[in-house]
Structure formats: C-alpha cells, structure tokens
Amino acid sequence: MLSSPRFYSEAYLYRRYLELTMPPGALEALFQPVLKILAQRTEPDTAPLKIAGLLFAGDHAVARRHGVSAFPAEVTPQMVVNIVQGGAAVSQLAQRRAAPLWVCDVGIAQGFDSLLAIPSSPHVHFERANLHDVFPEEGYEEGARDMTALPALSQKAHQHCWNAGARLAEEAFRTSGCDVVFLGEMGIGNTTPASVISACLLGISADEATGRGTGISDEGWKKKKQVVEKALGRLREEGKATRVQTLADAHALLQQVGGAELSALAGAAWRAAELGRMVLLDGVIVTAAIAPLALAESAFSAWLMASHESAEPVHRSLLAALGLNPLLKLGLRLGEGSGAALAAGLLQDADALLRGMATFSSAGVSSGDSL
C-alpha cells in the first residue's frame, strides 16, 4: 500500500544532478522535488514531466447561516463555469503547463443545474457527483451541513465524496499518465472548516486558527472566529475533539467538520499516492483536508509536496506540522488550485534543466576542486 516499483533510483538521479554545469547545491531547492518525482517512474520514460489538476467544488451551510464569507454562495457556480470555460487563473495556468484539469461538483448549493450544460475548454473536464443529487433525504442544500450544530457530513456522504475524489485521481492518471497531481478547490465558506480542522490538529485556539479567508471585514472576522469556536465547542461537548492518531480519527474529523470538497480532496490525494503519484497541495484549505491523513499515516505524507505558503497565518503552522517546505512564498489567497498550478511550472522547469543541461564532462568544463 502507498508504494510502487521504481525504475530510476533517487541516488542515480542525484548523481546526474551533481554533474550538471553549476556549482554544487546552486539550485538544490528547485531540483530536490523533481528528483523525488522522477524517482517514482516505473519505466524508462524520457517524456517531460507530466502534470494533471483536480479541483473539487462545494459550498457550506455555515457560510449561509452565519455569514463567515465575504462572498455569497452564487459565486461558487459562477466561478466553476469560469474555470471550466477556461477564463480563471487556474485554467490559464494549467493550459500553459499542458496540464489537463478535472473539475468536479461535489456539493455546490442547489439551483444550479445549468452547470450540467456548460461548454468546456478542451483542456478542462467537468463532472458532477453532487451530494444533494445522491442523498436528498439527508437534507444537503450545500456540500456540508452546519458544523456548529451537527456533523458536516454523514458517514455515507463523506464516503461518497472520498470515492468521487479517488475516482477522479484514477481517471487523471489513466488518461494523462501524469507524474504529479495538483489539487485545488472552489467553495464559499471553506476556510472556516479549514480553521476548525487546523485548531484540532495543532491544539490551538479559534483565534489562532482563523484567518480572513477571501478578505472579510473586522466584524466578519470576529464573527468567523466565534463560529469556529462554536464548532470546536460542539466537538468537545460530544467527545469528538480528540487529537488525530489513526486513520479512523482522520476520517472522523473530516466527517465532523469538513465538507464535500474537503473529503473529495482527501480521497483524491490518497488514491494518487496509492498509484505512486506525487501530490502537489494548494493553499490552506487543501492542506487542511489532507493534514489529518498525513499526520495519521507517515507513508502517505511522503507523497505530498507544498506548492506555496498562503496568506492565511495558520497555513505556515500546518505545513510545519507536516514537515513540508513550500516552493513559493508569495502571500497568495486566490485558491482554486492556482498556487499549485503556478508552482507546477517550477517543477517542469527543473525537469527541463535536469534533462537539457550539459554535464561538466560533456561540455568540457572544469568542475573545480573542493576546498
């Protein structure tokens, strides 16, 4: 489980890297991630690094009922249409990287069936596995119920979303042969469950775990912290606030305070790791969705890479807890997988250098002596 045969050894690739015409360690931070990626290939494939993107969309009742977001729920389907049609930042970045993009509606609020008929960009695939289509009897108007009052997802709903994510990861690998999967999300209100998950995992307060998300006002930020504390209070009262130690704990935390797109992200990442693909995480929401599993299972965490450190203060703490060093630190807060797609370009650049740069011996350049 969570392993695959290797064609290239990391040692062989590292020796190749050390022979390139540059001072030792000159581009270490750039090359180390791509060396790890290429070491997972199972055949002598000389093709450039291949990347695919998976994006999951859903909304949260906590946003509609408690006003924790600067934007209304209508933005989610509108932005999904924009992404699928190729007009969003992640769409453009993925296209520049020749990375096919899969977008899945796992929990967009009701009333947007027109999404089923949207024309898509040739590089984007749209699918739907919406909770309120599958479990109408469970009252899902969004992709997550109000986590301050009851579990965000039922066990069946969590498993459904997990399976949707896993299925999409399989499809991306089967059709694109990707070496790396980057993950993104789209959903109004999802920094709030990310804050609750972060507080549980890191043992910190609601104040410490809660950022401004898409840029709420001071009053909105105060309200958001209160909502996060209310959700944490429910977990404590119901005896659900234990620290994550096992995979069962990780699943329980996602079910209690996550949401459709967070469970789908977790399922996609887990399945990608099982398939021997590296997983490039986007910002705080994607990291929070993956973190419970990574802290419970070290073999899984070995397949993860951080694309960037976002503007949300708790993101740095989450990455530190996972032992991940971000490739970029630009204060990004767009979401939708844009930071991961941006960092994917760096991986492709490093791959191109590893393949195309001359070695000291082939270029007839003296490598110098160590002092």
Q: Which residue numbers are catalytic?
A: 336
Structure tokens at 348: 């492709």
Q: Which residues pair with 104 in a beta bridge?
A: 56, 127
Helix, coil or strand: residue 180: strand
Q: Is the dihedral of CA 339, 343, 348, 349 positive or negative?
A: positive
Closest CA relative to residue 56, chosen from 285, 310, 273, 316: 285
The pair of structure tokens assigned to 213 is 């998300």
First to last CA, the chain: 45
Residue 262 buriedness (CB in 10 A; 0-12 / 13-18 / 19+): buried
Helix/strand/coil percentages in the chain, nearest 5? 50, 10, 40
Using an 8 Å Cβ cutoff, are 288 and 313 in contact? no
Beta bridge partners of 183: 54
- Distance between CA atoms of residues 48 and 286, nearest Å: 26
* CB-based contact 140:111 (threshold 8 Å): no
Tokens of 53: 């993107």
Per-position DSSP letters for 113-174, written without gaps between them: GGGGG----TTEEEEE--HHHH-GGGT-SSSS--TTTS-SS-HHHHHHHHHHHHHHHHHHHH
